[in-house]
Structure 1
Amino acid sequence: MRRLNISFIAILLFIVTLNFSFVSGSTMYNGVNNATATFENMSYSDIYSSFAKGDIMRMTALAVIRGNGNGLYYPANNLKREEALAMILRLMGKEKDVQVAQNSASGGVPGVAGTTSSGTVDSWAQGVITVAKNTGLLSKQEQSLDFTKNATRQEIANWIAKGINLTPVYGKDAQYVYSYKDSSLFDADKLPYIEAAIESKIMSGYSNGYFGPNDYITREQMAAVLSRAFNVSYAMMGYTKDMGYVESVQKDSVNGGMRYTYEIKNDSGQDIALVSENSQSANYDFAVLKNGVAGLSSIITSGDRITYYTNGSNVVFAETESTSSSVLSGTIDAVWQGSFRLIDDSGNSYIIYYNNNTQLTMNSVDASISDLKYGETVKVTVSGSTATRIDVAYTDLSGNGQVNLGDRQDSGKITDIETNNSQVSITLDNGNTYTANVDMPVEGGSGSLSVGDLKVGEYIKLYFSSISSNTPDEVFLEGDYNKAVAVIRGTISGVSGFNPKIQLKDVQIYRQGQWNTSSDYSMYSIDGASVYLNGLKIPVSDISKYKGYDAYIMVEDHYGTDTATLVSIQNGFNMSYVGNISYDGNTLTVTLSDNRQVSVNDGTIILDDGLLVPKDQLSKVSQAYISFARGGGANFISILDTNAPSGYYYAFGEIDKVTSDSFTIGNTNDAYAINENEWEKIDDKTFYVGDKTYIIDNSGNTPIIVNYNDFINQKYGQNADSNIDLMKYGYVYIIAQKDKYDDNAYDAIAINIYTGYNFDIKSYDLISTDRVTKAVLSSINGNVLTLDNVMDWNGLNNNWELNTSLDSIDVTKAVIVKNNKVISVNDLKSGDSLYIVRDGASGIIVTVQQ
């Protein structure tokens, strides 16, 4: 009998495990006990012709609007001030405070209409006005208003902006309020908050160009305003908002009733279970709004895209997106987990979601959703904002292994580059690896580029004429795609609008190891941004919950709009470090020179040559600037390139001898060469010179190009009295490379003539003020280069140190070398790593590091 009981228990446990295996690894939210009452409250009988029908039901379900028990909302009626303040205080999560204040004011017994110590108010609203005063919602002047009178539009804008903590906009930054024809009617003391409400798209003017500051607001208009404000402030009521799609609906018999489990894959890739049950032991559900119709969870079906609101461990309300379908065509601009960005032929941008139910075809042949890639031309059938079908236009491959150039393509962000002799191996963010010759030309970008110039973090397109080859026939650099603008930090003050923008105050911009004040207030689009809180990914919609936290943001140029693409939020005390580092890719930690360790995570912004790069690039560097939370992870790392360009020989000295194919320095006066980033005295040195050697005379006020033959013919100059060689040119800077045939000789790539002959000064005195500097090119203006991450070599400490006082150099009299060839300033491009020999802010030799 005992064995039988054990077997029965085992079978029972197996059945229970089977029934609930779907929630393994899922986060579960149960419905609430009052869901049926909420549904009944939403079902007003007088709102079906109202433009704000959905907003009224939504705000009622979320307890911002309260019904009066008779099933009527009176949408067209004007709203009293006390009614408006009651709704706004609920939006602020202050309803409990109002109830406590009301009981205190009336002794728990309803009173009669009358006046408070200041202002007229109905008895039911005495607690409302008390809390509105105590929270600062009402100004001192407003406290004497008659609150039984109708509210005006400018009062609503002012109170809502204050209530949900929008940042007021002052001075020259206030523009929207002055764009209305009746701007003179705004109350001056309300302008900063009205501007914030308009800027956040919570309120707007009429189509005729007027705002109507003193017009009354109706109850249906207020519902629409509250609904938009709620998108920013829902966390104030204790709600969490998330979005996803319904993968399946599970139905189980339990305790004489039914349990429904709605399996959700949210936009962060997490598995969520929303549960309702109606049985002998439990009765909970949640209200739902679907296609303008209120109901309970039973109206949700598999494939629905929903927004759901939770409070603690309970789901309170969900709404589905509109099921109206449309067809969009364009090019895929970016692909993320669960969504992608589409750019249509008119340049419009759309964020479109996909899921396991999305059908994908390539030329009408079924394909996998993993085949969705940047650069593909697609036709998308969209329901709401979710793709139900994606058709990729792709040219069929021919049978002989060859295709027309461009028919086979690949594209993406470079995540790794390895160079082996003349071959470059390039890995894209889709995992594909290709090889190309280092000298292969690259189209796009600026200047003359080759594959050897490409960098990790850049976006490229590859074109092939062979089906199976991993060597492209053409490479195109998307020079303006996701171009890095800046790394900034600031304090989060909110999120505005339906095309959301993150609002920041006390904004600073990173430059050369320092955070410089940029503005008191800024907003950046977060369309498609990845957002992390202390290293953990969170939905974009959750940003507003972290007002007052610091955000570190990678800002990129998305088709002319400064857009936040990576947002790292932290709440710890911030610290910074500049110096040597070592990176452990297994533990994802950076060890500093003082043995402190800082963790690196997916939310860490890592910048190299102005490009956002993956974590494994840290294993290739020895110095960096790191910003991190004390006891926490790194929020921003700027890689400092400390490698000197290989293959170049830098020398300085006086020309002593010239032959038909060479010249020598260091016989008469000391000569010097750069060794480990410092000038070091050398013995006399001979350099071969040819007709491709670039020679420029900068001994005068204006640079003069010197002909090869004129330079060589110095050897025919003679001093009549002493019968010795008379050189035309004196001290020169030389950049050279080793001769292919003589290991002891060097071939001069360029010669920068610094003085004429008989220049009476010692050679060391000429170079004593020279500095060896590394930097990243930021921008070009004529012959002036604006620099970033400027580092000077410190010979005493034997390391590179950030120079925060130098941000540009003049290269009018400099020689610029790249790929062993002299180039013009116009051939440089933003992001180039430069190795510079300079005197003050004047460049002498500039080499581009590959």
Structure 2
Amino acid sequence: MKKTLILILAIALMSSVFAYGDVSQVYRQGFVEGYLMEPLGETLKIESYEGNIYSLPLRLNTIYTIDAQYVNASNFIPGMEIYAEVHGRSVTLVEGYSTSSLGYIPPGSKIRTGRVAKIDNNVLVLKLATGNEETFFLTPATVTLKNGVNTSLSALYEGDKVKLYFDEVNANIVSRIHIEGDSIRINGLYKGKVGVVDGFANKITINDVQVLKNGSWSKSNSAALTIPYNGNVPLYIGGYNIPYDNLKYYKGKTMYIAMKDFFGSNQADRMIVQNQYESTYSDKIKDINWFTGEFELKNNRNIGFHDGTIVIKNDRIVDNFSLSSDSDVFVVADGRGLQSSADVIYVLNENVNNSNIGQHYIYAGRMDQIVEDRLWLKNFFLLEENDWQSFDDEKELFFDNDTDIYDLTNNKKLSLKEFYSGSYAVDEDSKYAKDNRLRDWHSYVYTDGDRISAIMVQKNMDSLLRQRVTNGVIAPGPNSIRQDRYAGWTIELTNARDWSSAKAQWMEKNANLNINLEKALIIKDGKQIQPYDLKAGDRIYLVRDDFYGKVLIVK
């Protein structure tokens, strides 16, 4: 009897080592990492690094790799460390890793996944799923991929979800970085009343739904929304963390939700419950006290923040430490009187570069000389901190076979030879130039360092004093990008902001904005594109002369 009792106790203890995890969490996350528990068949049985066990269905076309080499499912051995990607409730990719000797791994087989917490030149701070942060280093040899396409490290944003690959076990130098696509982006900030909470399916219904649009709350197209949420993301009210099991007790309370697209449907990325009363502010942060967890706005208003504050920057969820004393922000504060804390901070700042990794510039000026691989701008202008700065000097810039060159006056794309052999830069004092009434042409130039990525040339110089810088999002709807019968290609922007040189901050527009692109240089991923290549939801940075766009960068 005693032996039987001991045996039962031992079995119970062994079975308690493992726990079957909530598979819906894996479906929402899109991946799982850990140890293979049994040979692959119709399902993948994996013990995650956290100790949870998941059984996930495999597809007929699931891709299998070990040490970055394509293999068959039969090559996977129980106990092997694996990474599995999950889409549509089934496994699409299984990556395995084998280590033949201590300290050595096949190149690219060590992986870290997480959100970019900070970018500082060649230093990348990654926030892992555990909540811990690790620091890694980037080099010119680091390969950067986004949506499977090779791109530049300058495409990185704070808040991006990335997968880092390494060539050595103990090294912190990134050999390859995969940037997740637009699914990481916040597509709207909503508020509404807490309704039905389904804790089993991790879904919540919110009523009286409003969406933040053009700096104020507007009624949503749907009076009520039922959306899934991630139960592993902390939930807060009044600066205090609350369990999701208690969410049903807050029925009728106001909730703020940062929404993202998840396979074509809305999903709550972050949520916070309002504690007292709402106030909103649109201003510049003057100072931040990290010790007390407060910031002061330019209007001298002090507002607290905490771990549950939702901070959105470049349409991505970021850490509080992404805030700075020059951040222009829209704040949704929660409190009463002089005592309030921020439930939501929406950072309005935008620039030519995504981070200090980028070295992209916008120039305007007269082309004084053009040779086979370079040109010189004379008395040029540089867009710096959203304002045109003039320089009484020459600027040497280089071009190559991959440079996009467009003649706006004659509406045609130029070859390299047509550009440097044409009459776009002449000796204005020469007899030939005077006899033929030739003068130097003017240009808008988008560069990567001193290399010209794209250039648009025109006979006459625009008045730069009339121009302003605007950022925003191309509005949803079939007519937000249209070829008008009379005006030509025109886009409609929502959540637009103009840079005010006088106030040195971004000023929100209270209505949608129409911009004509018939005479605009449009850049995406470092290349010139056409207006019909744009799409609703694109974030843009724009130099414009009232209704007319001059230079547009898709962010």
Indicate whether the TM-score tops 0.5: yes
Name the CA distance, whole Å, in 1 between partners of 2:265 and 2:292.
37
Stretch moving more, 405-414 or 602-611: 405-414
- Of residues 247, 268, 274, the one that matches 1:543 is 247
Q: Distance in 2 between matches of 1:607 and 1:539?
A: 23
Corresponding residue of 1:733: 444
Deviation of 1:611 (Å): 0.7
| Equivalence map 1:411-490=2 (5 Å) | 411-419=113-121, 423-429=122-128, 430-437=132-139, 440-445=142-147, 448-479=150-181, 482-490=184-192
CA spacing shift, 1:738–1:503, aligned 2, 3 Å: closer
1:578 counterpart residue number: 282
Residue pair 2:352, 2:360 contacting (<8 A) in 1 also:
no
Q: Which residue of 2 aligns with 1:246?
A: none
Q: 2:305 is aligned with what amino acid?
A: V
2:42 aligned residue: none
Shift of 1:551: 0.3
1:791 aligns with 2:497: yes
Q: Could you say which structure has the larger radius of gyration? A: 1
Work out the CA distance in 2 between the residues paired with 1:402 and 1:597: 53
Q: How far does the alpha carbon of each residue in 1:80-103 deviate from its partner, in whole angstroms, 9 at most, with x for none?
A: xxxxxxxxxxxxxxxxxxxxxxxx
Aligned equivalent of 2:346, options 638, 649, 652: 638
> How far is 1:776 from its partner?
6.2
Task: State how 1:22-421 maps to structure 2 within 5 Å.
Answer: 333=30, 344-345=56-57, 364=79, 375=83, 395-399=97-101, 401-405=103-107, 407-419=109-121
1:330-374, Cα deviation, whole Å (9 max, x unpaired)? 887479999979683369xxxxxxxxxxxxxx9659xxxxx9xx9
Is the CA contact 2:541–2:553 (under 8 Å) kept in the aligned structure 1? yes
Answer yes or no: is 1:587 the counterpart of 2:296.
Answer: no
Q: Is the 8 A contact 1:433 1:470 kept in 2?
A: yes
Conserved? CA contact 1:690–1:708, under 8 Å: no
Q: 1:435 to 1:689 in 2, by over 3 A?
A: closer
CA distance in 2, matches of 1:377, 1:548: 38
Superposition TM-score, scaled by structure 2 size = 0.70
Relative to 1, partners in 2 of residues 1:439 and 1:729: Cα closer, same or farther, differing over 3 Å?
farther
Q: TM-score of the superposition, structure 1-length normalised?
A: 0.48
Paired letter, 1:794: S
Which residue in the other structure is 1:600 paired with? 305
Matched ranges for 1:504-515 at <5 A: 504-515=206-217
Deviation of 1:628 (Å): 0.6
With over 3 angstroms needed to count, the CA separation of the structure-2 counterparts of 1:447 and 1:824, relative to structure 1, is farther
Evaluate the alpha carbon distance shift between residue 611 and residue 617 of structure 1 in structure 2; reply closer, same or farther with a 3 A threshold. same
C-alpha distance in structure 1 between counterparts of 2:107 and 2:536, whole Å: 30
1:688, 1:364 → 2: CA distance? 56
Pairwise CA distance, 1:488:
0.6
Q: 1:563 is matched with which residue?
A: 267
Provide closer, same or farther for how the CA distance between residues 465 and 791 of structure 1 changes in structure 2, counting only shifts above 3 A. same
**1:768, distance to aligned residue in structure 2 (A):** 4.8
- Stretch of structure 1 that moved more, 781-790 or 592-601: 781-790
1:634-687: CA deviations, max 9, x gaps?
A: 111111225565856645455566677545556xxxx75546544466547465
Cα distance in 1 between the residues matched to 2:442 and 2:219: 45
TM-aligned CA distance change 1:829 to 1:587, over 3 Å: farther
- Gap regions ≥5 residues in structure 1: 1-300, 306-322, 348-361, 366-370, 379-391, 740-746
Distance 1:328 1:647 in 2: 43
Deviation at 1:489, TM superposition (A): 0.5
Q: Which moved more, 1:553-562 or 1:516-525?
A: 553-562
Question: How far 1:413 sits from its partner (Å)?
Answer: 1.9
Please state if 1:552 is matched with 2:256. Answer: yes
Q: How does 1:791-810 map to 2 (within 5 A)?
A: 791-806=497-512, 809=515
CA contact (8 A) 1:532 1:569 kept: yes
Q: Tell me if the contact between 2:283 and 2:299 (Cα under 8 Å) persists in the aligned partners.
A: no
1:622 aligns with 2:333: no
- Structure-2 change in CA distance of 1:451 and 1:635 (3 Å): same
**Structure 2 match to 1:743:** none
Please name the residue that 1:705 is paired with: 414
Q: Determine the C-alpha separation between the residues in 2 that align with 1:732 and 1:625.
A: 36
State the match for 1:526 in structure 2.
229
SS in 1 for 2:340: coil
- Per-residue CA deviation, residues 35-73 of structure 1 (Å, 9 max, x unaligned), is xxxxxxxxxxxxxxxxxxxxxxxxxxxxxxxxxxxxxxx
Alpha carbons 2:472, 2:541 under 8 Å: kept: yes
Distance between the aligned counterparts of 1:636 and 1:341, measured in 2? Answer: 36
**1:495 alignment counterpart:** 197
**Residues in 1 aligned to 2:13 and 2:510: alpha-carbon distance in whole angstroms:** 58
Task: Report which of the two has the higher share of strand.
Answer: 2
Q: Describe the shift of the 1:341–1:709 C-alpha distance in structure 2 as closer, same or farther (beyond 3 A).
A: farther
User: 1:448 offset after TM fit, Å?
Assistant: 4.5
For 1:344, give the aligned amino acid: L
Amino acid at match of 1:397: T
* Same amino acid, percent of matched pairs: 23
Measure, in 2, the Cα distance between the counterparts of 1:836 and 1:460.
Answer: 27
Distance in 2 of aligned mates of 1:613 and 1:341: 30
Partners of 2:136 and 2:173 within 8 A in 1: yes
Residue identity matched to 2:151: L
Q: Which has the higher contact order (CA 8 A, sep 6+)?
A: 2
Structure 1 residues 788-829: Cα deviation after superposition (integer angstroms, max 9, x where no partner): 65322223334321234345645554334578x544469999
SS at match of 1:696: strand
Q: Does the residue aligned with 1:437 lie in a helix, a strand or coil?
A: coil
- RMSD over aligned CA atoms reads 4.7
